[in-house]
Amino acid sequence: MGVSRIFSYGGKTVWMLISGFIIAAILSVMLLTKTAELRYQRDVTRMVYSDNLGLLNEVKSKLGLTGDSLKSLMSQTAAEATDQPYLVVSMADHRLWYKQGKQILFDAPVATGSGKELVGGAAGQWRFETPRGRLTVKGKGEDPAWVPPDWHYVEQAHKKGLGIVHLDQGERIPTGDGAVLTTQNGEVVKRYNNGSTVVLGGGVEGKEIVVNGNIVVPPYGTTARRYMGVLGTRRLELGDGYGIHGTDHPESIGQSVSHGCVRMRNEDIERLYPMVAVGTPVYIY
């Protein structure tokens, strides 16, 4: 009854008070959010200037910034202090920027690691993630060859329901038709009983050597362990097998589908390649 009287006799005043309270609450939330963003930008600036980008995710989680903040990282980066060119890759935005100071010299869409896990039993276990943090361009190459790690053959075997067998240098694997698979002068060859040999040539993705229901893993150093075209036309090497490179699957750009490298369309990496020097910092977040 008391509440009804208040709204009956002083309704206008009460509603004004309630509205004022709601507006004040909204403004308070906006102020707190802005304060958090400013603190985040300050901490990002401090960390990248001291080359300590590894703490970035911790700061983001403390401030509740679970989304990728392009604005924060693009506003200040480690190389700005010396006006040194550098690369920035956002995995959430699937985009790469080449900057000098605050000026964007080049940008393009990219594909990044899928985050998927592959279990190969005794062969090992792998997670396909793009490394975060500060890296450096350690080398460059045109028309690069891909030397696939063992996980590639395990992955192909899983897709086709086949087993795995390793071919070591000089080893012979019977093929079931009277011939053997072996190595000769850096090539994997099929040698027949009459002494003739057939060179099996370079690797082709999806067309690996199969013997007796097993995908053959060629030894390192053989032509069969080199795949041309998979990495596109250019590569910037980041170390530990990672790189920024072209692709033979341009439809994958803009997605999280790679095995850890940063993929670009061939026309984009060809434009970027001559701009970037060995030693250029790379920030991936």
**Is 116 inside any structural domain?**
yes
**Is 176 inside any structural domain?**
no
Among candidate residues 94, 152, 259, 261, the one labeled active-site is: 261
Of 76, 107, 131, which residue sits at a domain end?
76
What is the rounded average pLDDT of the residues 253-279? 98
Q: How far apart are CA 138 and CA 135, in angstroms?
A: 9
Q: Are 167 and 188 in contact (CB under 8 A)?
A: yes
What is the rounded average pLDDT of the residues 20-47? 54
Say whether 245 is catalytic. yes
Q: Are 211 and 181 in contact (CB under 8 A)?
A: yes
Concatenated DSSP letters of 15-70: HHHHHHHHHHHHHHHHHHHHHHHHHHHHHHHHHHHTT-GGGHHHHHHHTT--S--H
Enclosing domain of residue 106: 82-144+231-285
Q: How far apart are CA 147 and CA 221, in angstroms?
A: 9
Q: pTM, whole model, 2 decimals?
A: 0.72
Q: Considering its fold, how many domains does the chain have in total?
A: 2
Among candidate residues 94, 152, 245, 259, the one labeled active-site is: 245
Q: How many Cβ atoms sit within 10 Å of the Cβ of residue 26?
A: 10
Q: Which tens digit of pLDDT belongs to each residue from 212-255? A: 999 999 999 999 999 999 999 999 999 999 999 999 999 999 99
Say whether 152 is catalytic. no
Q: What is the pLDDT of residue 55?
A: 43
Q: Which tens digit of pLDDT belongs to each residue from 197-209? A: 999 999 999 999 9
Q: How far apart are CA 163 and CA 168, in angstroms?
A: 17
**Cα separation of the two ends of the chain:** 59
What is the rounded average pLDDT of the residues 176-195? 94
Per DSSP, the three-state class of 207 is coil
Of 27, 50, 76, which residue sits at a domain end?
76
Tell me, yes or no, whether 132 and 265 share the same domain.
Answer: yes
Tell me, yes or no, whether 56 and 104 share the same domain.
Answer: no
**Is 97 inside any structural domain?**
yes
What is the rounded average pLDDT of the residues 170-175? 95
Residue 38 in tokens: 């400013």
**Is 43 inside any structural domain?**
yes
Of 54, 76, 98, which residue sits at a domain end?
76
